[in-house]
A and B are shown apart, each in its own frame.
Chain A
């Protein structure tokens, strides 16, 4: 699983344009953003603390 994640990260890091928006809080706590998961339940990003976290923003288009 980790290998897959890192492969995605390395590929994406080359192609990504300059970070904006969500990346503004660099060095600050993650914004308290609430979003639905694919299973339909709501979740808060800020509730994901406790372990190092990798957030991979992507699109299915």
Chain B
């Protein structure tokens, strides 16, 4: 008998870390696109030696599984469709091609979900285009609206969405996994994108409610005219219409510059409009240990808006940060004004 795993996960390296922690030895496939069309996990599936699916495994079916089936049906070959073209490009790492292919095809629920997967992957790659992160959320939302019972799709939204809608802490296991792996004398698998903010929270998490005085209220800090830092906000509104929350994730990337960790930390300041309440502000980023670093930084907050507010609106915001133009080069404390666009529900 052989066993394989198929993991439903946007980030394959997180599954690699999980495998290393649990010391799973069997082959594991990654189904980020949900090619299998599963609506939920876990599902154990038994297949006979002839490739005929026996079904969901139950204890009394193990005997059946272990006995060779007598039928000898041939494997069914798949015919490539437009959808599969996008899939193939995605697996090849051609994220631009995959996004284009998914957008060209019929905007079915599954096409929308896979478009979201490809957009999110591109957002986290060197090929990122402005708006990719938000477009991924909207594509996943479109998919879920068409099929609200698809819990694997729902989890992608919940991953980045309002804390109170999270059924559990999705990546709380990572801290324990790394400690256990190090205790074995191994080096944990490195993650390209560290889970942050809502990804590490659930309903039981006590959010940071520290109210900080707004820095630079008079706007005296020099503006970052060269845009040394790329700022992109991603808003995930509540899946449930009964909830009036949206979680805002603001991602900061230094371009031709470095974070200066020996000066003022990166901070975010927002002016929520009347009727909207700021919740759970995580608006100051801790400094790294090295003097200059270039890591992706994420700050988050939630807003609560009035019942029935389903339209789009904007939240004025600005960020303050210390950056250096080069290692041991000129360092500046700068300000960038921008706005967070809350998409219509």
Is B75 in contact with A51, judged by CB distance below 8 angstroms? no
Question: Complex formed: what's the CA distance from A56 to B47 in Å?
Answer: 11
CB contact between B48 and one of A15, A35, A52, A60 (< 8 Å): that residue: A52
- Smallest CB–CB gap between B142 and chain A, Å? 19
Specify which chain A residues have a CB less than 8 angstroms from the CB of B4 in the assembled complex: 45, 48, 53-56
Q: Say yes or no: A58 contacts B75, CB within 8 Å.
A: no
A 20-43 to B, binary, CB cutoff 8 A, 1 in contact else 0 = 111101111111111111100011
Interface centre among B57, B59, B66 (most CB of A within 10 A): B57
CA distance A54 to B5 in the complex (A): 8
Please provide the 4 A-B residue pairs with the shortest distance between their CB atoms, ordered closest to farther: A21-B37, A22-B36, A61-B170, A12-B42
Q: Give bound CA distance, A46 to B233, whole Å.
A: 42
Please tell me if the beta carbons of A19 and B43 are within 8 angstroms of each other in the complex: yes
Most buried by B among A8, A16, A52, A58: A52
Contacts of B36 in A (CB 8 A): 21-22, 33, 57
The chain B residues found within 8 Å of chain A, CB to CB, are: 1-9, 12, 14-19, 25-31, 35-59, 62, 65-66, 68, 73-78, 91, 151-152, 155, 159, 170-171
Which residues of chain A come closer than 8 Å to B30, judged between CB atoms?
35-38
Chain B residue at minimal CB-CB distance from A17: B40
B49 touches A52 (CB 8 A): yes
Interfacial chain A residues near B15, Cβ < 8 Å? 38, 60
B12 cross-chain contacts in A, Cβ below 8 A: 36, 38
User: When the two chains form their complex, are residues A31 and B8 in contact, meaning their CB atoms are under 8 A apart?
Assistant: no
> Which residues of chain B have C-beta atoms less than 8 A from A8's C-beta?
42, 44
Chain A minimum-CB-distance residue to B9: A60
CA distance A21 to B113 in the complex (A): 15
Distance in angstroms between the alpha carbons of A58 and B42 in the assembled complex? 5
Q: B residues within 8 A CB of A23?
A: 43, 45, 53, 55-56
> How far, in whole Å, are A51 and B2 apart by their CA atoms in the complex?
7
Highest count of chain B CB atoms <10 Å: which of A31, A35, A36, A60: A60
A6 contacts across to B, CB distance below 8 A: 62
Which A residues lie within 8 Å of B31 (CB)?
35, 57
Which residues of chain B are near A9, meaning CB under 8 Å? Answer: 44, 57
Contact A21 B38, CB 8 Å, known A10-B59, A38-B28: yes
Are B54 and A26 in contact, CB atoms less than 8 angstroms apart? yes
List 12 contacting pairs A-B, 8 Å CB cutoff, sorted by A: A34-B91, A51-B49, A52-B1, A52-B49, A53-B2, A53-B48, A55-B6, A56-B5, A57-B8, A57-B36, A59-B152, A60-B17
- Residues of chain B within 8 A of A17, CB atoms compared: 39-40, 151
Residues A49 and B53 in contact, CB atoms below 8 Å apart: no
Cα distance A43–B30 in the bound complex, in angstroms: 10
Task: Tell me whether A22 and B170 are in contact (CB under 8 A).
Answer: no
CB pair A59–B9 under 8 Å, yes or no, is yes
Measured CB to CB, the closest approach of chain A to B325, in angstroms, equals 36
Does A12 contact B38, Cβ atoms closer than 8 Å? no
Contacts of A50 in B (CB 8 A): 49
Residues in B whose Cβ lies below 8 Å from that of A32: 75-78
B73 touches A28 (CB 8 A): yes
Q: Which residue of B lies closest to A57 (CB)?
A: B43
A30-B53, A32-B78, A58-B8 given; 14 more Cβ-contact pairs under 8 Å: A5-B3, A9-B57, A16-B40, A16-B56, A22-B45, A29-B53, A32-B75, A35-B29, A46-B51, A46-B76, A48-B4, A54-B45, A57-B43, A60-B7
